[in-house]
Every structure is written in structure tokens, then in C-alpha cells.
Amino acid sequence: MDEQDDSRYGRAYVLRVAPGTSKVAEALADGDLIVGWSLADGLLNEGLSWAEFRGIIHQTYHEGDGNYRRSGHSAGQIWRFIREMNIGDWVVVPDGGGFYVAQVTGPARHEPAKVNDDTAYRRSVRWLNPENPVPRRYARASLQSRMKYKSVCVEATDLLEEIHEALATIRQTEIPSFDADLRARLIDQAKVELQSGRLNDYGFEKVVANVLEAIGGKEVRIVPRSKDKGVDVLAEFTLAKTFAFTLGVQAKHYQPSPPVGAWVVEQLVEGMDAEGATIGWVATSGTFDEEAESRRDELAAEKGYQIELVDGDQLAAMIVDSGLERR
């Protein structure tokens, strides 16, 4: 590993290449990061204020909207790509069950010839693992969670160490892989136990409660079935000893485990409202279908609900990373 690769300086981002299309292979081949909004010409003008920048997005893509909610969200993504990302920064690009890592080498640019493909806004990068995607299960739970965000470009500087650690797992000729291999096997075993071990629904709720305690939750309690209005577990958290919030969790344990659908997200929202929770999880031993993810995104955009979908892979990683004993 050269000195530049080993640097911990700069910022980090998680970026979805050309959302809505499958352009990761093109990005790898071209040595570029690729995002959309190609029809919004003029965004590279450094003299644009935020309002002017957002105005271009609004007029190009959301002119019929009565407010700036959607245009503001979209503008925030491309603004981060153009204005905040810098040469030397680190970028994680999810792709299926794995992810690639790049280091930015050039400024944002707009290629008119790529407008029709909606891949005109680009940045040159040096791909650090172009042949070998890092399996998502090698990433710590916090990085797995950030990669699930549906936003195109999200901040991940707080996860720099996790990014480098995951990248190191595929550099077996340079960094011993024992720790990473052991962790991955523990996570795989934890997932097997979650899905087919000696757990019933209540036991699964206890596992989730243990995880919440391990990551700093206080007054963690399982809601009695007679009082369950859509939330199975509640926990109190405090950020920076100042900002307190209640987290409500809907726990779904299936044997076997089908994908969790949108109706569970709706059930969680009802429980959050009833319990006064401001942030929610749906935690499952399995996976989520696309409708669940879409409904989560709609509720965030329309009503401001902050809901995290914690699947079996992520929950298993949280169990291992938090050092819980298997119960």
C-alpha cells in the first residue's frame, strides 16, 4: 500500500453512481464517479449562490412543484458532489452485495456528449479496488447502514476508519486478513443463529434490546404484547449529553424469513406516534423488499420520519461489533 492509500486525511462520502441506472461498470472503466441531473446545465458556475443553484434544479426537474422540497433535496446531493467533495477525498460506491472505494483525483466536470445517458456530471478518481469489490458483510454495521441510504451522495467522514478497515480485507498480500476473516465468520454464524437458531419472537426482541443497550441505549424496554401498538422495543438515547430522543423498534423474526414489506413500516409509524418516538427501526433477521424501502423514503421526504431498515446482515454485524455474548 503506498503512502497516499494509507492516508486518513480528507473527507469521505457514500455515492450511488448514476442513480436509477447500472453504471458502476462504466464508472470503473472510465476512472470516474458519475451522477445524474445532466440536463441541469450551469451548475459548475462557482458564482452561483445556494438559492440560484437550487433554482436551476427546480426549473429543470421540479418546475411543477408548489414548493422547493424535492428540488432542495436533489440540489443538496449534486451540490455536495460539486462544491463539497475535494481532490483526495474518499468515496464508497455500493454495488449489489459489495462496494468499491475510490480517491478523488479531479474537479467536477460536465460532458455534453453524456447528457442523453444522464451521466454528464463526473469526477476523475483512482479506484482502489477496481477488480475486487469488498463484500458488504466485511463492513462494520455503521458503514453498512450508511450504504443503505437512498440519497445519491451522503457524508461519511465519520466512517473513514471503517472504510479503510474494510478495504484492507481484500489486500491480503499487504495486510494480514485473520481479524477480518474471523469477524466475517462470526457475523455469518450470528446471522445463522438469528434466522434458524433457538429463537422465538420474544427471544428476537430480547436480542434487539441487548443490541440497543450495547450501543448506548438507556431505559431499554420490551413493550408488553397487550400494549403493543406497533413498537416492540423502546430505548432512550442522548447525543453529546444534550439532545435526547426516543427510538422505537418493530422487530420481525421469521423462520424461514421472507422479505419484510411496506406494511411493517406503516405499523412502525403507528407505534412511533403512539409512543412519542422520533426515530424508528424495523429490525429483521432477513431482508426487506423494495416496497418497504420505497415507503421508508416516502415517509422521510413527506413527513420527516427517520426510519432505519436493519436487515439480518446488519443486525448480525452489530451483534459482533458491539461485543455481545450470544444469548
Residue 250: give its domain's CATH number: 3.40.1350.10
Contact between residue 318 and residue 215 where contact means Cβ atoms under 8 Å apart: yes
| Mean pLDDT across 91-99 | 90
Gap between the Cα atoms of 119 and 175, Å rounded = 36
Residue 32 has a pLDDT of: 96
> Residue 32 to residues 41, 46, 123, 126, 159: CA-CA distances in angstroms?
19, 21, 5, 8, 22
Within a domain: residue 326? no
Same domain for 52 and 169, yes or no, is yes
Read off the pLDDT of residues 154-183 as tens digits, 9 standing for 90 and up: 889 988 888 888 887 666 544 445 666 777
Both 168 and 203 in one domain: the answer is no
Q: What is the pLDDT of residue 174?
A: 46
Q: Do both 103 and 227 map to the same domain?
A: no
Residues 152 and 207 in one domain: no
Domain co-membership, 104 together with 195: no
Using pLDDT thresholds of 50, 70 and 90, give the confidence band for residue 107: very high
Based on the fold, state whether residues 32 and 138 are members of the same structural domain: yes
Residue 327 lies in a domain: no
68 in the same domain as 40: yes
| 75 and 213 housed in the same domain | no
Q: Considering only residues 260 and 1, tell me which one the structure prediction assigns the higher pLDDT.
A: 260
Strands 279-284 and 243-252: parallel
pLDDT in tens, 208-232: 999 998 888 889 999 987 676 789 9
- Please give the Cα distance from 48 to 42 (Å, whole number): 9
pLDDT on residue 251: 92
**Is residue 185 assigned to a domain?**
no
In the predicted model, what is the mean pLDDT of residues 287-292?
Answer: 86
Are 139 and 16 in a shared domain? yes
pLDDT band for position 325 (cuts 50, 70, 90): very low
For 235, the grid coordinates are 430505548
The percentage of the chain sitting over the pLDDT mark of 70, rounded to a whole number, equals: 88
The CATH number that applies at residue 170 is 3.10.590
**What's the number of domains the chain is made of?**
2
- The residue out of 119, 148, 175 marking a domain boundary is 175
For the residues 286-314, what does the mean pLDDT come to? Answer: 84
Check pLDDT > 90 for residue 140. no
169 and 195 inside one domain: no
**Domain annotation covers residue 169:** yes
Which pTM was predicted?
Answer: 0.67
Lowest mean pLDDT among 249-258, 275-284, 313-322: 249-258
Q: Are residue 163 and residue 195 in the same domain, yes or no?
A: no
**Residue where one domain finishes, among candidates 107, 142, 175:** 175
pLDDT-derived band of residue 256, with 50, 70 and 90 as boundaries? low
Together in a domain, 201 and 314: yes
Pinpoint the alpha helices (H) of 80-177: 141-147, 160-168
pLDDT at 48: 94
Give me the domain span that covers residue 97.
Answer: 12-175
Q: Nearest-5° angle of CA 137, CA 141, CA 145?
A: 100
Q: What pLDDT is attached to residue 128?
A: 92
